[in-house]
Amino acid sequence: MLYKIKKLVKQYDGRKVLDIESLNIKKGSVYGLLGPNGAGKTTLLEILAFILKADEGEFYFNNNPVQYKNSDLLKFRKKVVLVQQHPILFTTSVYRNIEFPLKIRKVPKPKRDKTVKELLEMVDMSSFGSAAGNTLSGGETQRAAIAQALACFPDVILLDEPTSSVDIENRAGIENIIRKINREKGITVLFTSHDMLQSSRISDEIIYVNNGRICGSIHENIFSGKAVKNGNEVFVKVYDNILIPLDTERKGQVRISVDPLRIDIKRESAEKKSGMFQARGNIVQLADADDKIRITVDIDISLSILMNKTLFLKSGLSIGNEVTVECPCESIQIL
Amino acid sequence: MPFIFDSLKSAILLIFSLDRELLDVISVSLRVSILSTLAAGITGIPMGLFISMKEFAAKRFVITILNTLLAIPTVVVALIVYTFISRKGMLGSFNLLYTQTAIIIGQVILIIPILATYTVSAISRIDDRYRKTSLTLGASGFQTALVIMREARFSLVAAVIIAFGRVIAEVGISMMLGGNAKGFTRTMTTAMALEYDKGEFVLSVALGIVLLLISFFVNIILNYFQGKSRV
């Protein structure tokens, strides 16, 4: 086992930001760390990268206990590299940035030149060697940072939201690089994301993180709005124009999650029913999700629905179809 | 008014004639100031780096003390150093009083707080992602400190220039610890004070012009580096 964690706790000003009962990471796999903003994903990555100290718990790396001694940390850090959510390159050329980890590992100059050239090619940035690191775009910086990380010849690469600040074209490129470094170099990859589709596409295993804990699944279709009473019913007003019925007495600002497995989807319009959330919209995305199909419907907000594959094939639904989505208010959970 | 213009004219002629006494005074001033700035840089910059990168109990207190020392009068520094290096002092046997070394010691003490506080300030403005990036790429604590210093290089050079400006223009330490001995410890500022006392304004004005030119030149370099640090 590459990482073995038990009862790990990290606190900031007395507030627990991570409280992990148990987590095991195997060698050679791609893991997606999925969770909403503020779930503790970045903190977990920084602990796994040995640049942040956990307050409590047992932590093993390659079966060695992590005791935060400076000599051990340096040894561990040489095996693990973290690419931050918004990576920063040193204010020198891209070439020198990638050369830096090789230099501190005392790699001879001819080998350094060869490695930097190969890595620039791998991330499709061969012509950027002499460019200044601080003049690159978000996507270019991300790719250069991945090349810099690969120059460490790591056992593990940790990527914090690797595609959050890049456009669609660069996103696909970075996803390809992640697959490539895992398949061709056998490097274990852990990346954080809040994109379920992306995580399913790239990772062998998904770890769900919420409120600093590892959980079995994750809430989807999370919306914030104001709970308002209309007659006998309570609704959550999302973006001023969408009313979602709620089985609660609560008032004021709430966060809700709509279970994607309990949303019905049909082509025809439905009659208004009390205690049901109903809306019309268009299918904008279809994606494979193991034994199900993930359907994204635009009802002024993006709603994710999981449908059994057999049922989906029978339904004949396709992108662009106008559909009705409905779900009972019991399937809507207040977070 | 004619008196001022006459002094100014004679001073300019003295500068262009490359007067021996004038050159001696300038050379002593530059030598002492450059050496004290270098010595203080070697001490003050790592001190500032340590204070900004390490977490310790008295950190805020140390920064407050350094900030207080920024305003210390040169005569107070001179007095403290004098008590140590005078014949009766702890270091009296080294015969340092009225030497260039004594001036350098005093000036180093004067500008270490400047260099340390400016370094703390420069490092605090450096994005923490540089530290994290360097550590995760496998750099040691020392290598990471070098990376951060490199990123703060323009601000650090500016701090060194400010410190140099402070020592080249000070008079208290040079006068009290150097003794204003002609050809040995006479600096531009002490020579100006002496010439003023003698009523000899020409050399005084000439030295004033040179000092202003040096200050102007130093400020041009400072502006260049401050501009770079904002890029």
**Percent of chain B residues topping a pLDDT of 70:** 97
State yes or no: pLDDT of B230 exceeds 60. Answer: no
Q: Cβ separation of B137 and A100 shorter than 8 Å? A: yes
**Least trusted range by pLDDT, from A67-76, A238-247, B56-65, B184-193:** A238-247
Q: Which of B132, B139, B150 is closest, CB to CB, to A84?
A: B132
Cβ–Cβ gap A77/B138 under 8 Å: yes
Contact residues for B146 (Cβ-Cβ < 8 A; gap 6+): none
Of A305, A111, A333, whose CA–CA distance to A244 is shortest? Answer: A333
Question: Is the CB of A133 inside 8 Å of chain B's CB atoms?
Answer: no
Q: Do A152 and B141 touch (CB under 8 A)?
A: no
Strand order in the sheet with A15-25: A15-25, A3-12, A56-61, A64-65
Is the pLDDT reported for residue A220 higher than 80? no
How high is the pLDDT of residue A270? 76
- Return the closest-CA partner of residue A62 out of A20, A4, A149, A22: A4
Closest-CA residue in chain A for B139? A104
| Residue A86 touches partner B, C-beta closer than 8 Å | yes
Residue count of chain A, please give it: 335
Q: What is the pLDDT of residues B91-150, one digit of tens each?
A: 999 999 999 999 999 999 999 999 999 999 999 999 999 999 999 999 999 999 999 999
pLDDT in tens, A157-176: 999 999 887 787 778 888 99
Residue B228: the pLDDT is 67
Average pLDDT of every residue of chain A: 89
Q: Select from B127, B128, B133, B153 the residue whose CB has the most chain A CBs within 10 Å, as the one to mutate to test that interface.
A: B133
User: Mean pLDDT, to the nearest integer, of B14-20?
Assistant: 85
Tokens of A194: 């809040």
> Model confidence over B66-78: pLDDT tens digits?
999 999 999 999 9
Cβ(A236)–Cβ(A250) below 8 Å: no
- Give the minimum alpha-carbon distance from A136 to chain B in angstroms, rounded to a whole number: 15
Task: Select from B133, B140, B147 the Cβ nearest to the Cβ of A74.
Answer: B140
**Cβ distance of B137 and A88 shorter than 8 Å:** no
Least confident of A116-130, A265-279, B183-197: A265-279
In this prediction, residues A311-315 reach a mean pLDDT of 90
Q: Is the pLDDT of residue B2 over 70?
A: no
Mean pLDDT value across chain B: 92
Judge whether residue A117 has pLDDT over 90: yes
Burial class (CB in 10 A: 0-12, 13-18, 19+), B37: buried
